[in-house]
Amino acid sequence: MPPRIAPSILSADFAALGAAVDQVAGEADMLHVDVMDGHFVPNLTIGPPVVASLRRHTSLYLDCHLMIDEPARYLEAFRDAGADGCSVHVEVGGTANLIRQMRDLGLDVGLAVNPETSFDVFEPWLDQVDLLLLMTVHAGFGGQAFMDEVMPKVRQARDALDRQGLRPALQVDGGIGEKTAGVAAAAGADLFVAGSAIFGAADPADAARRIRAAAARS
């Protein structure tokens, strides 16, 4: 798969979200929406009302990353708000039921994995997901440093997917910029979430373009 870019609006100006989306729309394959509940991660962000506002503003695919303890309670609200896909964390448990619920709701199914969680924990679900999100920072905040130590797991996931002929997106999230996108692409990632490297740049569209080009070179 050619590399795809998912700007994370977490690093955008929430008072001017529409304008931020417009800035990157031409270079974005999807928008990454980071949902945090103050329990699963020590930070609070946004929920379905913001997704609904984004939905009215853009036709871009809305990729909702649910860093929350009880995703089952909210999946329908995200679907109704206009989410295209949701990623739930494997660490919250109940993965089989959550996958079934997302399918029943017509959501694309994403499974997110924290840096410390090993391959064996998510391996059973590889053939049931549309997107596998391997965190390359500790979930909770934008602007952290990329964790190189996750790369062997990205490689392990890529090899397993290839061996089984499976084609979910292999997404990396956290600390992605030009340099680290190349590192993650070399390990097998094909979908790159970037927040601060895009929205912290003077020209967000150009930053996204450069990240894509760096991933494509690897």
150 sits in which H/E element? none
DSSP summary character for residue 144: P
* Catalytic residue from among 29, 34, 108, 190: 34
The CA distance from 59 to 137, in Å, is 29
Minimum CB distance to Zn ion, residue 195 (Å):
8
Beta-bridged to residue 171, according to DSSP, are 133, 191
The residue (of 58 and 166) whose beta carbon lies closer to ligand DX5 is: 58
Question: Mask: binding to ligand DX5, 126-165, rule CB under 6 A, as x and -?
Answer: -----------x-xxxxxx---------------------
**Do 31 and 59 form a contact (C-beta atoms < 8 A)?**
no
191 sits in which H/E element? strand 191-194
Minimum CB distance to ligand DX5, residue 128 (Å):
22
Question: Mask: binding to ligand DX5, 8-47, rule CB under 6 A, as x and -?
Answer: x-xx--------------------x-x-------------
22 is an active site residue: no
Which of positions 164-183 make contact with Zn ion (CB under 5 A)?
173
Sign of CA dihedral 12, 16, 17, 19: negative
* Catalytic residue from among 29, 108, 173, 190: 173
The CA distance from 163 to 156, in Å, is 11
Binding site for ligand DX5 (CB under 6 A): 8, 10-11, 32, 34, 65, 137, 139-144, 173-176, 193-197
